[in-house]
Structure 1
Amino acid sequence: MAALFSLLPFFCFIQLSLVFFLEASGVGFTVDLIHRDSPQSPFHNPSHTRLDRINNAVRRSLISSQIQAPISANLGSYLMKISIGSPPVTVLGIPDTGSDLTWTQCKPCSQCIHQGTPIFDHLKSGTYKPSACDSPACKALGPDCFCHRDACVYTMSYYDSSKSIGELASDSFAFGSTSGQEVTIPNVTFGCGHQNSFASNRTASGIIGLGGGELSIIRQLDEHIQGKFSYCLVHALTDPNVTSTMNFGSNAIVSGRGVNTTPLIVKENYYLTLERVSVGNKIIEYEAVNAETGQEGNIIIDSGTTLTSLPPKIYGEVESALKEAIGSQGQTAPDPEGVLSLCYKNGGSLKLPIIKFHFTNANVDLQPSSTFIDVSGDLLCFAMIPSDGISTFGNLSQMNLLIGYDLVAKTVSFKEADCTK
């Protein structure tokens, strides 16, 4: 979230029970990821229809696609529940692959967000330790901190004017796991926020930083998970009751037949290099070098943004290739929301082509269920959008793919999977 919590970028509720410490390397654990629109989420609005949820997700993607600077999973598609302190206090955060520092609201809170759970009181935690100004953690924040009475004060500001200001500290973090055991890590650096705001009406305790920087949860758990995490996303737009999963450490290794691996470029966000897109037999070349930086890494992989966005020229060629492939079997119709530009009536009867993303050394097939969405009972729309901002490989395109990150090897691996199992 070098600019804001765009997926994740990743994102989950975690059920907690027994406690054990990660004391050896190679440990793995798996947590549930609950979509923000799930009935299990505090964001859930029972009056919203599936069409409402789709339209809301589209709007969230449009906000991120209009940003010129690097962004993260801007409105957060998933939620993560962790516990902080001794005794532990439940914290509900928005996990963010584009952000490093994890922060939560803390008492006393001069400016707070309604979060639906008790605000963390660091004075009641026996393991809470403020970070000194000369500590490595404080220095790692760079310009995002200052000293006040020998305390390291962090200041996090995001592109949409969301912010958090507070004390940098460390405490015990507990993560739930699908095994029923709670994974507890001592001395995790985080921000204890006393002045916080989100730009829109969201209910959360703060941000869970899953980026590649020194203070991210991934880096702080590196001794135990060795820079490895993976996730498998179900189609939350159509079945919000089914949970996705996120894996850490040895549980996160993506292996076996059908694995495709591509280099990972870690900057403000996680970048891949997309070389071309194909629709059936039609191949569309993509500028492999980032036009702004002159370096490889031209598309952000982001589990927190719903729709994939492409440069207008590339998007136009992809849309034209789709129209040609579908041909006269489909009757086009306008999107009632005026957002998605290619829609077909009675889409369930169409024979849709597979779209393939050709990353460096990895060809990833995107099935029609991951590239088209049913926005109403009889209207099927192409679920990618043109954008003048930075291109994003969104979570709808990632559905039913097991996607593994290895920050040590600097790779991302893809494997087709049934994420409901």
Structure 2
Amino acid sequence: MVFSKSFYTYLTIISLLFNLFHFSYIEAQNDGFTVNLIRKRPNNIITNGVQAPTKAYLGQYLMELYIGTPPIKILAEVDTGSDLVWVQCVPCPGCYEQMNPMFDPLKSSTYNNISCDSPLCQHLYSHGCSPENICNYNYGYADNSVTNGLLAQETITLTSNTGKSVGVPKILFGCGHNDTGNFNDHEMGIIGLGNGPMSLISQLGPLSGGKKFSQCLVPFHTDISISSKMSFGKGSEVLGVDVVTTPLVSTEQDIQYRVTLLGISVEETFLPFDTNIAKGNIMIDSGTPPTYLPQALYDRVATEVRNRVSLKPISDDPSIGDQLCYRTQNNLNGPTLTFHFEGANVTLTPVQIFIPPKDGVFCLALAKNSGNDPSIYGNFAQSNYLIGFDLEKQVVSFKPTDCTKH
């Protein structure tokens, strides 16, 4: 559910901090479907892999895809916490400002609105009907961002592993005409990769050899010219040495990818998540930069980190609030954190743990949950790991990877 923006509200200074993100390659097996965000094929099956370049900007990973006929390039936020695929469309009187031209459905020969009578309209939790009998949607996110528009189908074009364009017709998406919230000017929409019926992975799965995908996010220091790729379907499995796997936990909110976190180690000190570990107590969300933890666990982790960093924490900058930050001109030399998921230990180095909101300042990339909000494993922590989501086997796999090298 795109929680990322809430971190900007939580910590103003961090708005610029997220400016340095990127995606890198995917080392997944390439039998199948390595997304270049160029959609599938007009026929029923994608026989080769498909790839989509993904870059980072202001705390979000943006995936490149092409939509319509003729194809128009779109950069949209990658979000495993939601399932709707949508882009801003002309006319857009109530939309946020974006740098690139908006998609104009009147200029595409393959655009089709969804009628209110269609079963596809029922996929939406909140929908209405226009006087022309077109399915309207209203889709909100945890940070109070909202997109409103028309539900439609369109051809999306991806690039195969062999470099050929692959057109995939009748992809369900939202044509946004009134979109508000904390979006940056590079975001032209959102690519929902959650486990709901409207997500990109759910729509591609039957055609690409399986409902599965993998990603490799470059760390925040990476130059913006370096991109990574996402893989979908057959060939996206994360295999080889050093792979660890944790089971997905099904919930009523089946859009989210929930796993079980047993606790966190700061170097050799183990801190349990809770006295009573609940299954599926944390969600993996590529749309949220920091990792959100219950306050008690966050406080214990922050204390252990503070005890292991020789620098004095910043205390004279009101914009930082109570966030644990340090001043240094070099990369912060801090401890490692190990997230102990059920069956999988994932170790993070300082480059994944500390983020720079501005030159010479590094802040702990963790935050406290507010109220009953869910715990979130954010995209800072996901960097430099090849992460595979296999929704058929119901597992998530992690492989430490230098995502800038592929």
TM score, norm. by length of structure 2: 0.80
User: Residue 413 of structure 1: CA displacement?
Assistant: 0.4
User: Residue 355 of structure 1: CA displacement?
Assistant: 1.3
Write out per-residue CA displacement over residues 47-106 of structure 1, whole angstroms, 9 at most, x where no aligned residue. Answer: xxxxxxxxxx5xxxxxxxxxxxxxxxxxxx022232222222233322322221212233
1:121-270 aligned within 5 A: 121-146=104-129, 148-176=131-159, 179-199=162-182, 202-225=185-208, 226-265=210-249, 267=253, 268-270=255-257
| Contact 2:85 2:174 (C-alpha < 8 Å) held by counterparts | yes
Q: Tell me, in whole angstroms, the C-alpha distance in 2 between the residues paired with 1:3 and 1:376.
A: 22
Write out per-residue CA displacement over residues 103-159 of structure 1, whole angstroms, 9 at most, x where no aligned residue. Answer: 223334443333333333323322222222232211111433446433212122334
Q: Which amino acid aligns with 2:79?
A: D
| Contact 2:81 2:287 (C-alpha < 8 Å) held by counterparts | no
Question: Aligned-pair RMSD on alpha carbons?
Answer: 3.5
User: Residue 230 of structure 1: CA displacement?
Assistant: 1.0
Q: Tell me, in whole angstroms, the C-alpha distance in 2 between the residues paired with 1:100 and 1:189.
A: 11
Equivalent position to 1:371, from 330, 353, 356: 353
Q: Which amino acid aligns with 1:369?
A: V
* Change in 2 beyond 3 A, CA 1:318/1:135: same
SS at match of 1:331: coil
Q: Is 2:380 aligned against 1:396?
A: yes
| Contact 1:90 1:117 (C-alpha < 8 Å) held by counterparts | no
Q: Is 2:313 aligned against 1:333?
A: yes
- 179-188 or 104-113, larger mean C-alpha shift: 104-113
Q: Tell me, in whole angstroms, the C-alpha distance in 1 between the residues paired with 2:136 and 2:38.
A: 33
Q: Is 2:49 aligned against 1:28?
A: yes
Q: Tell me, in whole angstroms, the C-alpha distance in 2 between the residues paired with 1:265 and 1:146.
A: 35
TM score, norm. by length of structure 1: 0.77
User: Residue 391 of structure 1: CA displacement?
Assistant: 1.9
Q: Tell me, in whole angstroms, the C-alpha distance in 2 between the residues paired with 1:244 and 1:176.
A: 14
Equivalent position to 1:411, from 370, 382, 395: 395
Q: Tell me, in whole angstroms, the C-alpha distance in 2 between the residues paired with 1:285 and 1:381.
A: 23
Aligned to 2:260: 273
Aligned to 1:355: 337
* Change in 2 beyond 3 A, CA 1:4/1:325: closer
Q: Which amino acid aligns with 2:180?
A: S
User: Residue 392 of structure 1: CA displacement?
Assistant: 1.7
Aligned to 1:310: 293
Aligned to 1:85: 68
User: Residue 404 of structure 1: CA displacement?
Assistant: 0.6
SS at match of 2:126: helix
| Contact 1:100 1:210 (C-alpha < 8 Å) held by counterparts | yes
Aligned to 1:298: 281
SS at match of 2:379: coil
User: Residue 20 of structure 1: CA displacement?
Assistant: 5.6
Aligned to 1:282: 269
| Contact 2:111 2:154 (C-alpha < 8 Å) held by counterparts | yes
* Change in 2 beyond 3 A, CA 1:153/1:312: same
Q: Which amino acid aligns with 1:359?
A: F
* Change in 2 beyond 3 A, CA 1:412/1:10: farther
Q: Which amino acid aligns with 1:36?
A: Y
Write out per-residue CA displacement over residues 203-245 of structure 1, whole angstroms, 9 at most, x where no aligned residue. Answer: 4332222111001111010113311111111123353332232
* Change in 2 beyond 3 A, CA 1:263/1:133: same
Aligned to 2:14: none
User: Residue 412 of structure 1: CA displacement?
Assistant: 0.7
* Change in 2 beyond 3 A, CA 1:404/1:17: closer
SS at match of 1:166: strand
| Contact 1:26 1:249 (C-alpha < 8 Å) held by counterparts | no
Task: Identify unmatched segments of 5+ residues in structure 1.
Answer: 38-56, 58-76
- 242-251 or 106-115, larger mean C-alpha shift: 106-115
Q: Tell me, in whole angstroms, the C-alpha distance in 1 between the residues paired with 2:375 and 2:196.
A: 21
* Change in 2 beyond 3 A, CA 1:324/1:15: closer
SS at match of 1:224: helix
Q: Tell me, in whole angstroms, the C-alpha distance in 1 between the residues paired with 2:294 and 2:228.
A: 29
- 232-241 or 14-23, larger mean C-alpha shift: 14-23
Q: Tell me, in whole angstroms, the C-alpha distance in 2 between the residues paired with 1:393 and 1:135.
A: 36
Number of corresponding residues: 375
